[in-house]
Amino acid sequence: MRTFKRETSFLLIVLAVKGLESIGVSWMAGRSIPLEDNEPNKPQRGQAGNQKAIKGLTVIVMTVCVVAATWAVFDAPAVATGAPSAMLDFTLVNRTRTGIHAIYVSPHDSAGWEENVLGDERLYNGQIVTIRFRPEAQAAVWDLRVELNHQDKAEWKNLTLREISKIILRVSEDEQIFYAEIE
């Protein structure tokens, strides 16, 4: 993906330079066309229009250059790719009054669960973890599985993560039902 962004940035810069070259050629061509009825000290017809066009196109070209430079320097997501993985990222908050030792997030159509995103760590009550996705992750619908201990597990199916920024896990007062608040 990084290569795609750099190639896109380079392409935009080349297009901007070509656009400036084209504007210069058009403007010079417009200035050099003498009109038969023009008096020597009057501006030629079309000259003011060319200057307005140059100003407008210069703003557009400069905007393209700034966007291209931003993509190249700051590694911003490319518009052409839709930045799918960044849109899937979400924050998970543990409010279950116990520790979570495993969190699995997998595409809905997957046959099994992906690796435990916590690894060897635990997510204790009150702690927050941000779950980030690899750039190639593009599924629209996901499933979430949380294991609180070796006996208590909870699953949520068909989550559209592009519409979710935070999931708060909670447990009922009698500690029998685990549920999720989704923001």
Q: Which residues pair with 102 in a beta bridge?
A: 147
pLDDT at 39: 55
Q: Is 80 exceeded by the pLDDT of residue 41?
A: no
Angstrom distance (rounded) from CA 123 to CA 146: 11
- Average pLDDT score over residue span 121-135: 94
Pick the CATH number of 84-182 from 3.30.1360.120, 3.40.640.10, 2.102.10.10, 2.60.40.2890: 2.60.40.2890
Angstrom distance (rounded) from CA 49 to CA 29: 13
**Residue 104's pLDDT band (cuts 50, 70, 90):** very high
SS3 27: helix
Share of the chain above pLDDT 90, in %: 40
The pTM for the full model equals 0.54
Residue spans of the domains in the chain: they are 2-81, 84-182
For residue 117 the two structure tokens come to 């995103």
Angstrom distance (rounded) from CA 24 to CA 167: 55
